[in-house]
Amino acid sequence: MAHCPPDVLVFKTTVRRPRHIRRLSTGLTALGRWNFDLDDCDRILRVETGSCHAAAIVELLGRFGFRCQELA
């Protein structure tokens, strides 16, 4: 059986500081591998996942008071 590569989901976020990322880290780690680019003007979040949908990530960040929008 062939192994499928994970999907990479990319989001524009309102996350601004490393301390915000620390608050989100446990929830994001449960979804897959992830990283933020806070130097980008859109404060990009990338998530590598094989099973998570974009809506789950939007909902997770929303629970912590952040907005995010999936980029095409």
Query: What does the pLDDT look like over 20-35, one tens digit per residue?
Result: 999 999 999 988 899 9
For the segment 34-69, what is each residue's pLDDT rounded down to a tens digit? 999 999 999 999 999 887 789 999 999 999 999 999
The rounded distance, in Å, linking the Cα atoms of 68 and 16 is: 12
What is the DSSP code string of 21-39? HHHHHHHHHTT-EEEEETT
Sorted by where each begins, the domain ranges of the chain are 7-70
**CATH T-level topology, domain 7-70:** Alpha-Beta Plaits (3.30.70)
pTM of the model: 0.88
